[in-house]
Structure 1
């Protein structure tokens, strides 16, 4: 209990330092800057190291730390690489990874507590616990690549039921594949098939993206037309570039919330943007202080380079059908093998 008590007491120091001094924003900016450099740009050893997101702490303190230190880094790096996701998905991503500190060595507060009860090596407990909870390390990536798991984009009760039920099945299949037992002990190729089914149920859009591109790229001059036709509470995928107030070149994508249905000019003003078109170029004349556009890192003088709108394509949920059929095949094969094994065990010994 002494080690756990010291770690818990240190939580208050960490949280107080992050929330009261603003050091979290400084560390996040340093992380974004360092990751943007080439390896040979680092003059000092270790300059590019990022703070470890796995802070062993209580749940609330954990979220405060990782959301302050790591969420801005993930958002910025994703925007620069074309991965545009809602902010809540990023926060859930870093939050789940922060929680993994409870079981993973060398932090493993829960593992140390369990080892004290069981009177065994805490490092071995942590390694075993990580094996059992490895699905928790995979799930945050699904929050990023399939935001429907966070109930984003769910438009009906049937859609909600389908998303929740397939996610539950995927979790069970992932546990079966990683722990080596489904209806009976897995063969290696059965584990591979179960992992393939798990991936498809978690992210069916991956296969649909291969067949149909998810977005069409439009010129920036179409922005008024696109904003006018966008449904209520939609997010516009906008690509911008320019120089910030520090002279740093910025090129990234943002998800601009459009709010309620209204004329295009009104929706852009409510988001905090004032635009001016000049030929094939659209410049940002102004950004309201504290607006949604400002919080996304859009600044006056930036240029809108492109728009992306979702394409019309079949629902990605169609890939649930082959995935479930493949799962059914594994069930049939394993049940037959389990029946043979049970029959052999009932035979009298010769």
Structure 2
């Protein structure tokens, strides 16, 4: 279906990707340079596949080889400036790529000597560390934007000049050798937890998604969503929600997901009567939610598991109910909007037949179920992804249409490596910020400051943390945003007694919400580019549609049973039931329609009722339930009177 679009639309899509997804701004190469990049990218994927299957190298060596591949490819694939050549690799980028790779491989080549003189670096060690940090920051700037490297530089300056800062943030200061030793020659900075997760779990899941895509998974997911929801009221919008949710959990990138499924779903929504800005907003909200949708989620979820020191499956299970509430809210709102506008579903003849589709391509779902099985069975995420890749290759041969040919397999391996560059650079650079926090104790200082400002009030602390996450998200990728805020802001929530998994999940949600929140709502703007709608209006509509995503984190902080903390059966079931009813009321309030147009005064009351149901407590639930019963009765009477007239 998507393939039948005119060529000019494809060109527009490429422009949208380059405009809103910085990781898509790589060079378009031909000839031997293209084959060279292909060979290096495939080698990188094969290295990770081998180590995932047959055993990792020593921690520092594994991370160093991973980062060496990343820096080498980044300098070759991404131009330094807009004026730099985009169709070929200039000679100086070959030199920079080689230097960058060597500064990291230095950790492997001289591993034994570095261990022997741990804490006593030589002049050469310091020089290589200084050069390596500079190369990493430049690579991150190329693949992302200057914000994260600037934060890393400020962190280094703070480490050095700490004694000159105001008393609340002051520390004794550290010399250059101590800073570089901490940031680069050990496992507290660049080679810390973030790059460790990137070099193991994250890369393997990106590779899994890339190879799965080569089997035709993208088109299958859209066809499956069409078969399930296409004929219902406002069907195309529900198709967008379902397909983008499934694809988002595999891709982990909001903007890339919008551009993958949105090219089909947005025109389809517009064709039955949805306004362009609403269609784009629905796609953006659904695509963004993929990062919180188990079983795979986004890269930040794997880092959360490492920070919490728990198996990844525990994080995935904790995310199930919040993710369902998020998507239920979106489905309810698109249904109410379709009802308000009188929009019907698609005719049966335009829809694929569900059972016929499952017989032809249903085997493509097997790798997803395999991933879930391996995670539940206690395998590490990396091992689960490794077996997921092997399962994908095997099941692809069930059908000629999905078969992974040698060319497709090579493309999948190469695209997996290329897709990891942005996350890996962000993880390495944000490691400097984490290293600064551990070296200076800044995280605890900021936590104390937040608690002082909020005077120990949990709600105010949550609001301050939310604003911090969204502001940082304006310039940082989700993964980097999560690491920074979980290091700087989350300790305040922990000090106030918030359950650790609820605190980190809160930070994750609002880091992701930045993709929808103007003025830098990249996912919404990408959707607007496809829909031809006004970007800011699309962003505001996306925030309205994702309102549940902005409220649900507050609820599971106050009622951690929703993230599976201290679960008792009856209160747990009641919490889910009242939360679902609250989401239903929230949809009514946002859209302003149920059976008939809802008066403004009643929308305010409905919103308060929704908050009452979402907030745990007998009195608040009773109040919310009363509002819901009254609203349903009142709106049905209004609809009947309208019909009688």
* TM-score category, normalised to shorter length: 0.5 to 0.7
Distance 1:34 1:181, change over 3 A: same
SS at match of 1:152: coil
Name the residue aligned to 1:276. Answer: none
1:323 is aligned to 2:619:
no
- After superposition, what is the alpha-carbon deviation per residue over 1:55-87, rounded to whole angstroms, capped at 9, x for unaligned? 2565545433432332124334xx3xxxx2211
Query: What runs of 5+ residues in structure 2 fail to find an aligned partner?
Result: 1-16, 25-142, 145-421, 454-463
- 1:196 paired with 2:608, answer yes
Kept in 1, the 8 Å contact 2:555–2:616? The answer is: no
Pair 1:14–1:34, CA change in 2 (3 A): farther
Alignment deviations for residues 327-346 of structure 1 (CA, whole Å, 9 cap, x no partner): 212211110111111222xx
Are 1:109 and 2:522 an aligned pair? Answer: yes
CA distance in 1, matches of 2:573, 2:616: 16
Matching of residue 66 in structure 1 with residue 503 in structure 2:
no
Contact 1:24 1:68 in 2 (8 A): yes
Deviations 1:192-227 (CA, angstroms, capped at 9, x unpaired)? 33223222222233xxxxxxxxxxxxxxxxxxxxxx
Structure 1 residue 93 displacement after superposition: 1.2
Q: How does 1:124-143 map to 2 (within 5 A)?
A: 124-143=537-556
Query: TM-score when scaled to structure 1?
Result: 0.54
Equivalent in the alignment of 2:643: 342
CA distance in structure 1 between the partners assigned to 2:538 and 2:530 by the alignment: 11
Q: 1 or 2 for the larger relative contact order (CA 8 Å, sep ≥6)? A: 2
Matched, 1:85 2:498: yes
Moved more, 102-111 or 144-153: 144-153
Runs ≥4 residues deviating over 6 A = none
Does the C-alpha gap of structure 1 residues 339 and 36 become closer, same or farther in structure 2, counting only changes over 3 Å?
closer
Deviation at 1:91, TM superposition (A): 0.9
Write out per-residue CA displacement over residues 112-168 of structure 1, whole angstroms, 9 at most, x where no aligned residue. 211221123322221221122122112221122222222323212x43332212211
Q: Which of 148, 155, 169 is the aligned partner of 2:581?
A: 169
In 1, distance between residues paired with 2:451 and 2:601? Answer: 40
- The answer for the alignment partner of 2:511 in structure 1 is 98
More strand by share: 1
Q: What residue is the counterpart of 1:294 in the other structure?
A: none
> Following TM superposition, by how much is the alpha carbon of 1:108 offset from its aligned partner in structure 2, in angstroms?
1.3
Q: Which residue of 2 aligns with 1:18?
A: 430
2:8 matches 1:4: no
Give 5+ residue unaligned stretches, structure 1: 39-48, 206-315, 345-350
In structure 1, how many angstroms separate the alpha carbons of the residues matched to 2:451 and 2:620?
A: 37
TM-score (norm 2): 0.31
Do 2:528 and 2:535's aligned partners in 1 also have CA atoms closer than 8 Å?
Answer: yes
Q: CA deviation at 1:29?
A: 4.1
RMSD: 3.0
Q: Which residue of 1 aligns with 2:469?
A: 53
Q: Structure 1 residues 36 and 141, CA, compared in 2 at 3 Å: closer, same or farther?
A: closer
In 2: Cα distance, 1:14 partner to 1:27 partner: 20
Q: Where does residue 571 of structure 2 map in the other structure?
A: 159
Give the match for residue 149 of structure 1.
562
- Aligned residue pairs, count: 216
TM-superposition CA deviations, 1:25-79 (whole Å, max 9, x none): 55534533654778xxxxxxxxxx9994232565545433432332124334xx3
After superposition, give the CA deviation of every residue in 1:166-194 in whole Å (9 maximum; x if it has no partner): 21111111121122122322123322332
Q: Secondary structure at the match of 2:593?
A: coil
Q: Alignment partner of 1:192: what SS? A: helix
- Which structure 2 residues correspond to residues 172-321 of structure 1 after superposition, within 5 A? 172-205=584-617, 316=618, 320-321=621-622
1:71, 1:94 within 8 Å by CA — same for their partners in 2?
Answer: yes
More helix per residue: 1 or 2?
A: 2
Measured in 2, the distance between the counterparts of 1:176 and 1:194 equals 7
Q: What is the Cα deviation at residue 2 of structure 1?
A: 2.3
Indicate conservation of the 8 Å contact 1:112/1:122, yes or no.
Answer: yes
Helix, strand or coil for the counterpart of 2:518?
coil
